[in-house]
Amino acid sequence: MNRLMGYLLTSSLLFGCLGTVAAQENSEGMAHHPPKYLNILREFLKPGKAGLSHEKTEAAFVQAQRAANWKTYYLAVDSLSGRPRSLFLTGYDSFEDMEKAMSAVEKNPKFLAALDHAGVVDGELLSDTDSGDFAFREDLSLHVGVDIPHMRYFEISLFHIKPGHDKDWEELVKMYQHGFEKMEDVNWATYEAVYGQADNTFVIFHPMKSLAEVDHGFTEDKDFEAAMGEDGMKRLRELTSTAVESNQTNLFEFNPRISYVGEDWMKADSFWKTKSAAGENPEKAGKKEKLEKKE
């Protein structure tokens, strides 16, 4: 059940990380707003067990949920730096929603058995797992309306803040917001740990369509420094030294083969129709299930 609780939390649409709660279509695509809460399940893989091996075991979870017509969705991302690992990201509106989802799974023995079996097989590839729940901090985020289905990468930063320096941390982030506010292509969503991580832990998600944005970011950093000025940059360094205990940033790639997304994502971008490691197209599988139910 630990794996299940990691990402089957609510019937609202998956976060994708910068989010979904209610997808709103516009002329430029699907603008998503981060959910109120985010669960992050991390699976650390044994050497040589990433890639296709892990995709095959994860396909069993996707197939079980599809067969159950489950309405909780999640986005999976694979690490491109740091330890080999996959993150499973699920958004929800409240902890009450989490409780309802847990109860619904327990009342579906067939679904629960399929998930348990998939968990045993998948567990053979893992060296460690953990999960945490995080609350969205809109006051520490910037330009959060993002077309997530068309994104392909996340730059994810983890910050541990020194006890008693919350105000210094908030001042630091707000200085970054001010420096980047006129650069509309710069965006991030900030989440604060509620459960599963040390106090004063923050996770910041920056979505990207291409890794070329990393190269472009170096130019934007220079523009930021110019906007802040010498005094502003000095204050940033002081606040960073005072407030931040440790921080780390890593790159992650979206993996459609082990994600469980809704039809609106598949309609928005064919990227999400990619065949799973089990060789089945999710859209065709859904039509097949509907036909079998009619028969």
Predicted local confidence at residue 98, as pLDDT:
83
240, 257: one domain: no
Containing domain of residue 118, as a range?
2-135+253-283
187, 97: one domain: no
pLDDT digits (tens, 9 = 90+) for 180-206: 998 888 999 999 999 999 999 999 999
- The reply to whether 83 falls in a domain is yes
**Residue carrying structure tokens 């992050």:** 40
Of 6-15, 127-136, 206-215, 224-233, least confident by mean pLDDT is: 6-15
173, 105: one domain: no
246, 257: one domain: no
25, 108: one domain: yes
Higher pLDDT, 20 or 192: 192
Decide if 148 contacts 65 (C-beta within 8 A). no
Decide if 105 contacts 8 (C-beta within 8 A). yes
Number of domains into which the chain is organized: 2
- The reply to whether 236 falls in a domain is yes
67, 194: one domain: no
| CATH for 67 | 3.30.70.100
Predicted local confidence at residue 184, as pLDDT:
86
Rounded Cα–Cα distance for residues 21 and 18 (Å)? 10
Strands 189-195 and 201-208: antiparallel
Instruction: With cut-offs at 50, 70 and 90, classify the pLDDT of residue 170.
Output: very high
128, 259: one domain: yes
Higher pLDDT, 119 or 288: 119
- The reply to whether 290 falls in a domain is no
Task: Kindly report the pTM of this predicted structure.
Answer: 0.84
